[in-house]
């Protein structure tokens, strides 16, 4: 009997270097036994050293892609990555407003690891007002959470109160990722769903190239939700998967990249 693969969707930008964006999402979806579909928001000219160009897809064509995919496929869960502009965000929000049964994981991508801006200044308010309220989960890192709250987050003992503060502000579950904490021994993330706090911790892996980790993490959560796991289970399984992709990284020329098809650890 053939296996039924649930349908997942990524709405994000293209990474020509293959390590992040739609490319990382599709690898993750495939690795975790879902059938990945795509909506492109931007094309980027980039490699792990940085982004040298961004070409924005028109909001009308973003909407056309969304309709083409959803008219055919029974999408179980979706994620957003690089949305870039206010008009694209509004087009995506209109789709999820009409399709509330699709579980949405929102990765509030604002700045690339290399420092390149991936969200226009006037788009942040639209993200907050139009799309975050339609999400099942938002997954900010410390820099993104600091921008959303207007205050700096750089200590472990801030993670739980700031996750709760984000929930209070947006009224959606929050996964606050603590991997950027200075001098961290453990990579600790905090999930607050409005009732309970969950901590997910893995040993911090030094000297690893982390390009694409945020995309991979949110895509893995999306995949596990599509398989029917609840939110805390999906985040926990995604955390394990992300750790394996870093631990079992692959050589890709001058650097190593995440291995989206890792061998299970013994």
Catalytic residue status for 150: no
Secondary structure class of 187 (helix, strand, coil):
strand
Q: How far is CA 63 from CA 68, 89, 97, 219, in A?
A: 9, 10, 13, 21
Catalytic residue status for 17: no
For residue 62, the Cα-to-chain-centroid distance in whole angstroms is 18
Cβ(119)–Cβ(109) under 8 Å?
Answer: yes
Cβ(107)–Cβ(139) under 8 Å?
Answer: yes
Catalytic residue status for 215: yes
Strands 50-56 and 75-80: unpaired
Catalytic residue status for 136: no
The pair of structure tokens assigned to 109 is: 């991508």
Q: Which residue out of 27, 34, 178, 215 is catalytically annotated? A: 215
Q: Which residue out of 213, 216, 222, 245 is catalytically annotated? A: 213
Cα four-point dihedral sign 122, 68, 100, 98: positive
The total number of residues written for the chain in this structure: 266
The pair of structure tokens assigned to 128 is: 């907050």
Q: Which residue out of 21, 36, 179, 214 is catalytically annotated? A: 214
3-state DSSP helix/strand/coil % of the chain, to nearest 5: 40, 25, 35
Catalytic residue status for 212: yes
Q: Which residue out of 76, 90, 165, 177 is catalytically annotated? A: 177
Catalytic residue status for 152: no
Q: Which residue out of 212, 216, 236, 239 is catalytically annotated? A: 212
Residues assigned a catalytic role: 177, 210, 212-215
């Amino acid at each position: 009997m053939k296996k039924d693969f649930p349908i997942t969707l990524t709405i994000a930008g293209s990474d020509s270097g293959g390590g992040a964006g739609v490319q990382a999402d599709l690898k993750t979806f495939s690795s975790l036994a879902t059938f990945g579909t795509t909506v492109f928001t931007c094309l980027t000219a980039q490699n792990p050293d940085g982004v040298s160009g961004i070409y924005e897809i028109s909001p009308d064509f973003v909407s056309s892609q969304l309709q083409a995919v959803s008219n055919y496929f029974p999408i179980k869960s979706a994620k957003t990555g690089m949305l870039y502009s206010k008009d694209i965000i509004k087009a995506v929000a209109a789709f999820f407003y009409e399709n509330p049964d699709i579980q949405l994981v929102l990765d509030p991508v604002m700045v690339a690891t290399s420092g390149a801006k991936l969200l226009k200044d006037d788009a942040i308010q639209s993200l907050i007002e139009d799309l975050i309220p339609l999400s099942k989960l938002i997954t900010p890192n410390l820099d993104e959470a600091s921008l959303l709250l207007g205050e700096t987050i750089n200590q472990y003992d801030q993670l739980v109160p700031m996750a709760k503060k984000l929930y209070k502000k947006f009224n959606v579950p929050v996964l606050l990722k603590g991997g950027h904490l200075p001098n961290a021994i453990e990579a600790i993330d905090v999930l607050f769903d409005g009732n309970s706090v969950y901590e997910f911790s893995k040993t911090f892996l030094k000297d690893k190239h982390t390009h694409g980790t945020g995309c991979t993490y949110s895509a893995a959560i999306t995949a596990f939700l599509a398989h029917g796991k609840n939110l805390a289970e999906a985040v926990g399984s995604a955390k394990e998967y992300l750790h394996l992709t870093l631990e079992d990284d692959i050589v890709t020329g001058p650097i190593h990249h995440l291995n989206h098809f890792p061998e299970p650890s013994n």
